[in-house]
Amino acid sequence: MSKPGSETSKISRRKFLGTGITVAGMSVAPGVSLINVAEARPLDQPVSSKQRWGILVDANKCSKGCTSCVDACFTENGLNRGDEQHSRPGQKAQWIRKIDLRDKSTGHEVSLPLFCQHCEHPPCTDVCPTGASFKRKDGLVLVDKHICIGCRYCMMACPYKARSFIHEELTHQFEYAPRGKGTVEGCTLCVHRVDQGRNPACVDACNAAGHKAMYFGDLKDSNSEVSKQLKMHSSKAIRADLELNPGIRYRGI
């Protein structure tokens, strides 16, 4: 991680004024445009850019071999229910993966979950020819499957390999997680839960497993646990060089 000072000098004016939390958390005094929004939004109110949902993953606490978050994601969103009979393992839908990293020189190993990073500047939405890939005002990057034509440009554009294409007819989808053949899908940060003021399933599962390696919350609310944690210790964005400003940040990598 570069020093805070050197990072500050690199940022553009637009980023500084915008939601560049990468830098804002470190060098700018907190308290700028920090509006507290009630946790569960009324059903008839649209999402607003006063919030930005994000997760801090503490890789130091993430246990190698533990797949609680992956399993929870499968169960919650109805993935891997035996529908994809003809797809190879690599083709089957998976929204969250466990990655093990090893530093060759020191032998230090770290394990972390990798999923849609909910970028501020998502490349998937840039390349989408129909507007199906979009970023919701509260920062969630989603696929509108009603207008997705299944071209898979977004899968190629995503540097995190976060999206899956559904090759086969699906049955028994959950009512809150519609999924179907011929469309691309990825982590929604459990949008149906977030809209109820709840944590994504992976975060709850990680807590239930006792690791407590994931903090979910509003990155724009300085009082949220995730903001406090981000302020307290240094964290990294994966592939920060791409300047996508992901909403998912990592500690201990």
Partner 1 sequence: MKYLRMMLVLLTVVLLGNTIVLADVPKPVIPKGNAEECVLPKEEMRVDHMNYILHQRDETMHRGIRTKKFSLKGCIDCHTVKDDAGKIVSYKDKKHFCNSCHTYAAVNIDCFECHASTPTAKGTISSTGGKK
- Footprint on this chain of partner 1 (rule: CB under 8 A): 39, 41, 43-47, 71-72, 75-76, 134, 136-138, 142, 144-146, 169-170, 172-176, 178-181, 183, 191, 193, 195, 197-199, 201, 203-205, 208
Minimum CB separation from partner 1 for residue 170, in Å?
8
Rounded to whole angstroms, how far apart are CA atoms 7 and 26?
10
Minimum CB separation from partner 1 for residue 119, in Å?
18
Nearest residue (CB) to partner 1, 109 versus 169: 169
Rounded to whole angstroms, how far apart are CA atoms 133 and 146?
11
Count of helix runs (H) and strand runs (E) in the chain: 9, 9
Nearest residue (CB) to partner 1, 4 versus 197: 197
Phi and psi angles of residue 56, each rounded to the nearest 5 degrees, phi first: -105, 125
Minimum CB separation from partner 1 for residue 149, in Å?
13
Report how far apart, in Å, the C-alpha atoms of 29 and of each of 14, 24, 222, 225, 248 are.
17, 8, 11, 18, 22
Nearest residue (CB) to partner 1, 47 versus 155: 47
2 Rama class: left (phi>0) / alpha (psi -120 to 50) / beta? beta
Minimum CB separation from partner 1 for residue 105, in Å?
38
Q: 34: which 2 tokens?
A: 């920090």
Nearest residue (CB) to partner 1, 63 versus 173: 173
Query: What order of strands is seen across the sheet that includes strand 248-251?
Result: 214-218, 53-58, 248-251
Nearest residue (CB) to partner 1, 24 versus 206: 206
